[in-house]
Amino acid sequence: MPKPLTSVSAKRLVQEWGAKTSPGPRHWPVNDRRALDDDYRLSVLWQTATPVWQAANDIPTWIWRPHVERIFMAVDDLGCHDLLA
């Protein structure tokens, strides 16, 4: 079972992102943590489309099903439901 996002991995994400010297996607201000979090959570939400596409295209269940639980755990862990409201 995957581990929830830890503060260590969150800190590393910020360090790597903060190392940029120019604005990133969607013209983030260079040190805007909120924009980083929102963009990361949005990318996690987009991951839900992959197993849906695979199921719709008759990919065997044993291939896509394990990813569904992992993706929805990430959605819950990161509070991505807020972006859907």
Answer for the pair 51, 67: CB distance below 8 angstroms, yes or no: yes
Nearest-CA neighbor of 21 among 29, 12, 11?
A: 29
Q: What is the pLDDT of residues 19-58, one digit of tens each?
A: 554 555 555 555 677 878 888 899 999 999 999 999 999 9
Residue ranges of domains in the chain: 32-85
Biggest alpha carbon–alpha carbon distance for the chain? 44
In the numeric block, the tokens 């040190």 are attached to 31
Q: What is the pLDDT of residue 3?
A: 59
For the range 48-52, what are the long-range contacts, defined as Cβ-Cβ under 8 Å and sequence gap of 24 or more?
A: 48/72, 48/75
